[in-house]
Amino acid sequence: MKSLELMTKEELESLVLFYNKAYWEDQDPIISDPDYDKLINRLLELDPDNEVANKVHSTVVNSSDKIEHSNPMLSLDKVYTSEEVLKWCQKVARMDNECFLVQVKYDGCSAELNNDLLSTRGDGHIGENISDKIPYVRILTGPEFIPSIGFKGKVRGELVLQKSVFEQYKDVLKRKSGEPYKNSRNACA
């Protein structure tokens, strides 16, 4: 494959669209997140307002399943090196001696429980209603990790299916088509 620096804007857009289809429609990611981010970053270098590079993807397909968030659920900045972490800290720090807690980023499904409605992050403003999945979350995590029915309030977090749990249930967890999931992130989402 041609190096990113030698690719045209059109070639980069074509690759991004190809990888987006594999990830979002086929649920079969065929490129690593860091490599995908390099494509996006190069496309944004060439065209900062590029529609393909700036599109926020969502799996919401049925308008009746949409829930509007009262406050946006924004995505976090991605960093891959210590230098990038330090640069990010300098950008967001409110004072010189501010402390940060750094944790591993789990790759799952960002979600919001608002009263009895559970929804995905979606595009940050509108997510998919996944309230029917609450019993599965309770079974896999234990009832103490998700508030009981009748909960009044809002909780945001990342739904994650551990690899060990995925391995245990992968023969039972199937797509609507009957096909098995290829990884725990896709099964969770």
- How many angstroms separate the CA atoms of 34 and 32, rounded? 6
| Beta carbons of 129 and 66 less than 8 angstroms apart | yes
Q: What is the DSSP letter of 63?
A: G
- Out of 105, 154, 174, 182, the active site residue is 105
CA atoms within 13 A on the CB side of 156: 12
Is 87 noted as a catalytic residue in this protein? no
String of DSSP letters for 116-162: TEEEE-TTSSEEEB-GGGHHHHHHHH-GGGSPPTT--SEEEEEE---
Dihedral (CA of 184, 73, 114, 117) sign: negative
Q: What is the dihedral of CA 122, 124, 125, 129, to 10 degrees?
A: 30
State the catalytic residues. 105
